[in-house]
Amino acid sequence: MDIMKLNSAETEALVLKNLKHQSMKSTIYLNGEFLIVYMNKAAEDLFGWKSDELRGKSLDVLKVENLSKQIKDNIKNVLKNGGSYSLESTSEKKEGTTFFCELNFYPLYDNNRNLYGILTSQRDITEKKLLETNLKESEEKFQALYENIPSGTLIIGQDYIIEDVNQRTCDITGFSKEELVGQSCDILCPKGSRSKKCPIWVEGLDGFQGMDTTIKCKDGRENPILKNAKKITLHGKQYILESFQDISERKASEEALLHAKLVAEEASRAKSEFLANMSHELRTPLNSIIGFSQILNEGTFGAMNEKQAKYIQHILNSGNHLLQLINTILDLSKVESGKMELYCENFYIQELLGDLSIVIHPMAVKKNIRFELNELTDNTQIYADKTKLKQIMYNLLDNAIKFTYSGGSVTLTLELIDNELQVSVADTGIGIPQHAIDSIFKPFKQADLSTSKIYGGTGLGLALVKEFVGLHKGSVWVESEEDKGSVFKLRLPQQDPNNAGH
């Protein structure tokens, strides 16, 4: 039966009979040699050709890629044996647009089961192919990121079975991927997951970050890691995506720093004990020097000429200065070694001011510096070590006078602020450079090395102030600008901090 010899009416009837349930599907009727007999309306819309334009032409006119002679022969063999054939390829529309096309081939038999025609349906699968391409690219990109991420990464199921790991996990643990996938994550978790001690399916469901823990390695080591976890859904199932970073270097550094800190603290204690012992040893002969100098200076063993008296006075002054320095070093050593004790009591703050004025006023007059005192109007009590508070205020005032030019001023101000005593010592002196402010409360530190040459001093006064204030659970700070003077401020609790509120 030669279908090419049928008239148009017979062809139309035959096509309608075979396609009565496929009127909406793009369909082309071919003879056994792949020549186009008829295209339905859907096919015309899909390819842009009219059926009459392609009647009698090869299916090759649609430029179906991969439709070689060998493929055509395969199609015919399959159809002759009662099967169907599917092909995904590209095709071309009349205006030249290329698109992805799915073609399905079905046989048409005569009454004697001879193949006399081929029915082929077509479907535009461009969108599907684009989605598949995008998905494949996304998967490849994810896999590349997954494998090259610097953190170890695992995908863990709800049954605590490891579904996948990246290469970094293998690098850190020493296991191969084949040794880990399919195993319980007990193989890596020191706590044991099946015992429910592992938090992966507790905190992990809501996500957690920054957990310091360890991971078991193949060689038996427990490697320190920083672990993060997050719930993810793959193919409709919940998993935990766990990532971790090897922090063994960080842990080693922390241990080294801790060791160095302990060594430094031990060295500091040893230094403080040494200074304390040396101070005691130095004070014994120094007291003798000062004592005998005073006896000579008073003329107990006879009068001295002017030159002798001058030299004896120098010895006495130097001895007293050295004794003051040794006492300061001893005090600092006691504080640093934790042996300094406070003898606190309640007393009126005004009791200190008279003693301070007697000492400070002559020093100020000698340098032509105006000394002002802004004291509290009411008799105010404070709970503190009276001797040490006096020394704190003396050191600040002595420092202010030392670094203030002739003709300048030093002001001591006392205030009560939020149940704390604030002491302020303001001067119009040389000021402190900003880069030096953080170091002036450290022992043997001054704002500038040159200041010790010009103004003298050892840099211990402010260090002792800070330590004594700290013992009182107070705070001390400075506000200063170079060449514009300084304001040293400290605050101490007015009442005993240990019994406040009682």
pLDDT, position 477: 92
Using alpha carbons only, what angle is made at residue 418 by residues 413 and 422, rounded to the nearest 5 degrees? 20
CA distance 431 to 424: 15
For the chain, domains (ranges, CATH) are 3-125 (3.30.450.20), 149-246 (3.30.450.20), 251-336 (1.10.287), 344-499 (3.30.565.10)
- Tell me what the pLDDT averaged over the chain comes to: 80
The average pLDDT across 397-402 equals 90
CA 303 to chain centre: 77
116-133, pLDDT tens digit by residue? 788 899 999 999 888 888
Residue 208's pLDDT band (boundaries 50, 70, 90)?
low
233-263, pLDDT tens digit by residue? 777 788 888 888 887 777 878 888 888 888 7
Residue 98's pLDDT band (boundaries 50, 70, 90)?
very high
The average pLDDT across 433-446 equals 76
CA distance 323 to 463: 18
pLDDT, position 49: 93
CA distance 316 to 112: 141
Contacts of 84 (CB under 8 A, 6+ apart): 78, 104, 105, 106, 107
Q: Are 454 and 377 in contact (CB under 8 A)?
A: no
473-482, pLDDT tens digit by residue? 999 999 998 8
Counting beta carbons within 10 angstroms of the beta carbon of residue 236, is it exposed (0 to 12), middle (13 to 18) or buried (19 or more)? exposed
**pTM of this structure:** 0.43
pLDDT, position 145: 63
Checking if the pLDDT of 11 tops 70, the result is: no
CA distance 409 to 135: 80
Q: Are 392 and 352 in contact (CB under 8 A)?
A: no
Structure tokens at 298: 């008073």
pLDDT, position 253: 81
pLDDT, position 144: 66
* Nearest one of 104, 140, 138 to 30, comparing CA atoms: 104
Contacts of 76 (CB under 8 A, 6+ apart): 32, 115, 118
Angle between helices 461-471 and 306-336 (to 10 degrees): 40
CA distance 400 to 406: 12
pLDDT, position 9: 47
Q: What percent of the chain has pLDDT over 90?
A: 20
151-195, pLDDT tens digit by residue? 888 888 877 888 888 888 888 888 998 998 888 888 887 765 555
The average pLDDT across 63-83 equals 89
pLDDT, position 143: 67
pLDDT, position 243: 80
How many CB atoms are located within 10 Å of the residue 377 CB? 6
The average pLDDT across 488-500 equals 81
Number of residues that this document lists for the chain: 502
